[in-house]
Amino acid sequence: MYHAVLVSDRRHITVGQRRLSYLESGAGRPLILVHGFPLSAEMWAPQLADPPAGWRIVAPDLRGFGPSPDPIAPRTMEDYSDDVMDLMRGLEIGQAVIGGLSMGGYVVFSLRRRAPQLFQGLVLADTRATADTVEGRAARTRMQALAEKEGAEGVLREMMPKMLSEQAQRTDESAVAAVRGLMRGAPVPAITAALGAMMARPDSTPLLPDVACPALVVVGSEDRLTPAADSDAMHRLLPNADLRVIAGAGHLSNIENPRAFNRALADFLAQKF
């Protein structure tokens, strides 16, 4: 069951010239969770509602999404990983378990490339390490045009069938409503900027063998956007990783089956830290 997050729960912090927004819950060691596309920190509502014992979840809104103001597009993954680094600095978090879902995973790879010392652990949810294929880039360019023409509604129509499993699309009204609400909230400049950043991101596969810290790879078995095979591939290359497949869940496995997702997270944190 998806728990809505009140916008009034949002926290803000000014770091240098920038005002960043984020959601936070729990207390203890820091766990940073980076949202996917075209969503916001609110996608982590089911995790924020049930933080693992002894852990403090911090979920940033990447620039342009949620109430985080967007400077100027175009954007790169490094801009988004700056957001995470700035927020960690602003909150005086020196090291954390850092995770992301889908595009959030691409942001985490960018952060890992630039600042591996920030990682106590790594969580890769419904994501992939590889760069976009030529066809994938062409699809992103088409989606940018669709967003310009029809706004978030066009992107919603195109992506919604791939966000949740077929079963959930038919039967889980609260998850469907939550995902629709999250996607409708995305401003067009943020959508087109993120598509550009995803399209230009490098292959992060070479980073994987050097990730010595504990890692969790988690994926819905019915994920059609970043299929379980991508998670298998990452798991095989990571020297110190667990793999959890959430049976029946689609791409947004944390929303579709929060109980299983939260259990995977809590087990990993309890066993490795």
36 binds ligand MLT (CB under 6 A): yes
Q: Least separation, in Å, of the C-beta of 51 and ligand MLT?
A: 22
Q: Least separation, in Å, of the C-beta of 198 and ligand MLT?
A: 5
Let me know: does 201 contact 194? Beta carbons within 8 Å.
Answer: no
Q: Least separation, in Å, of the C-beta of 56 and ligand MLT?
A: 24
Among 5, 26, 32, 37, binds ligand MLT (CB under 6 A): 37
Query: Residues 189, 255, 263, CA angle at the centre, nearest 5°?
Result: 135
192 binds ligand MLT (CB under 6 A): no
58 binds ligand MLT (CB under 6 A): no
179 binds ligand MLT (CB under 6 A): no
Q: Least separation, in Å, of the C-beta of 36 and ligand MLT?
A: 3
253 binds ligand MLT (CB under 6 A): no
Among 97, 225, 234, 269, binds ligand MLT (CB under 6 A): 225
100 binds ligand MLT (CB under 6 A): no
Among 124, 164, 188, 198, binds ligand MLT (CB under 6 A): 198
102 binds ligand MLT (CB under 6 A): yes
- Nearest CB to ligand MLT, comparing residues 31 and 179: 179
Among 91, 98, 103, 241, binds ligand MLT (CB under 6 A): 103
Q: DSSP string spanning the chain? A: -PPP--GGG-EEEEETTEEEEEEEEE-SEEEEEE--TT--GGGGHHHHTSPPTTEEEEEE--TTSTTPPP--S---HHHHHHHHHHHHHHTT---EEEEEETHHHHHHHHHHHH-GGGEEEEEEES--SSPPPHHHHHHHHHHHHHHHHHTHHHHHHHHHHHHS-HHHHHH-HHHHHHHHHHHHT--HHHHHHHHHHHHHPPP-GGGGGG--S-EEEEEETT-SSS-HHHHHHHHHH-TTEEEEEETT--S-HHHH-HHHHHHHHHHHHHHH-
Q: Least separation, in Å, of the C-beta of 118 and ligand MLT?
A: 21
- Nearest CB to ligand MLT, comparing residues 55 and 106: 106
152 binds ligand MLT (CB under 6 A): no
Half-sphere exposure (Cβ direction) of 190: Cα atoms closer than 13 Å:
22
Q: Least separation, in Å, of the C-beta of 203 and ligand MLT?
A: 13
- Binding positions for ligand MLT, rule: CB under 6 A: 36-37, 102-103, 198, 225
